[in-house]
Amino acid sequence: MVELETAIKAPVRKKGLPLGIIRESRFIKEFATEEDIVSRGSAGGTLEGIWSTAGEVLISLEKQNKDFVSRERGKIHRYLKDISESDVEESFRNGLDAFLKQQYRLFKKVSPSEVEKLNDKEYLKDTIFSYTFDFIYTLRMAEQMGIYPSTALELARLTYMHNPDIILKLTKQFPEFEIWVITHAAVSNIAPEKFLTRVQETIPNLQTKFPDFEIGIITYTAVNNPSNPEGFLQKIKDTIPKLQKQFPEFEPWVFTRAAISDPSDPEGFLKIVRQMIPDLQKKFPNVPLKLIKKALVSNPSNPVEYITRNLNGM
């Protein structure tokens, strides 16, 4: 736990030592979490001015480091090939602005005199450097761990809250969870460890009350409906018999997935699945029907991507 007195006396940077800059940046993130500093809400004139100055510094740094920027973009280009460069730049800038807002609110709360350094271009250079380092490092680690590029980009944006090793750290801490549970926790929660602990505690109770549901459905519910998981599962349980009568060609697991994917209209969802199956069978004549159904209920917006990833063993 970071002590207030320690935080006010921020770590001394050694000029020209990138490691020291990165350590200070991560120290600030840690203390901001301890102080419950949030990045939501309006900015105000002072912060708008800081953002404007930071934008000028960023442009200058990009010009001075063209080769570095080009080299780093090249390293992740293939991984992010389906994401536009403008989206990557937008995520980067949104995260950087959030990091500056976080620092502004933290300094204003614990040591108002420190706010002034956010107008110092040298300090802003260090902040941009540290955020850039963690942004890139997060993307590299996400690629190595097989995380979807779009999720990886969101994780990179959130490096103003989390360090690049957040997914690896959580995976070791909660080995029983699949990677999608870990990434959801990191993307959706400022304190993912606490969230995952609650999920961990909820699952056994749900298994006892709903023994007919497989662990994947139980886990999905605990993760995505933390406020009322029992009510959600009971609604699915009540819906399945009706769906079985209306769609006798589908297996029980399809009904469960349909009720999860579109709880407000599972009948309409299954009608669309039924209509799309012939087209996917023509496109993938050698793919088992079960995989086609699974693609349609698991990734209805892009079943082709789901099938392709499975065929490639991803």
11 and 143 in a common domain: yes
Contact yes or no for 7/40 (Cβ under 8 A) = no
The pLDDT value recorded for residue 25 is 82
Tally of structural domains, the chain: 2
At 111 the pLDDT is 84
Q: Please determine, for residue 13, whether its predicted confidence score (pLDDT) is greater than 50.
A: no
Q: Is residue 31 domain-shared with residue 108, that is, in the same domain?
A: yes
Question: 160 and 53 share a domain?
Answer: yes
What is the Cα–Cα distance from 190 to 170, expressed in whole angstroms? 13
Residue 84, domain member (yes or no):
yes
Task: Indicate whether 89 and 140 sit together in one domain.
Answer: yes
Q: Are residues 29 and 109 in the same domain?
A: yes
Report if residue 182 sits inside a domain. Answer: no
Domain end, chosen from 168, 186, 211, is at 168
Tabulate helix, strand, coil % of the chain (nearest 5): 75, 0, 25
Assign residue 41 a region (left: φ > 0; alpha: ψ between -120 and 50; beta: otherwise).
left
Domain boundary among 150, 168, 186: 168
203 shares a domain with 160: no
- Split at pLDDT 50, 70, 90, the class of 71 is confident
28 lies in which domain range? 4-168
> Residue 195 — very low, low, confident or very high, per pLDDT cuts 50/70/90?
very high
| Per-residue pLDDT at 173 exceeds 80 | yes
pLDDT at 87: 94
pLDDT 10s digits, 117-143: 999 999 999 999 999 999 999 999 999
Residue from 187, 190, 184 nearest 32 by CA: 190
* pLDDT for residue 142: 93
pTM assigned to the model: 0.78
Residues 8 and 143 in one domain: yes
Residue 9 inside a domain? The answer is yes
Q: Confirm if 102 and 160 have CB atoms less than 8 A apart.
A: yes
Q: Is residue 184 part of a domain?
A: no
Q: Does the residue 173 lie in any domain?
A: no
> Is pLDDT at 38 greater than 90 in this prediction?
no
pLDDT in tens, 290-303: 999 999 988 888 89
Together in a domain, 14 and 161 = yes
Q: Report if residue 175 sits inside a domain.
A: no
The string of DSSP letters for 101-145 reads: HHHHHHHHHH-GGGGGGGG-HHHHHHHHHHHHHHHHHHHHHHHHT
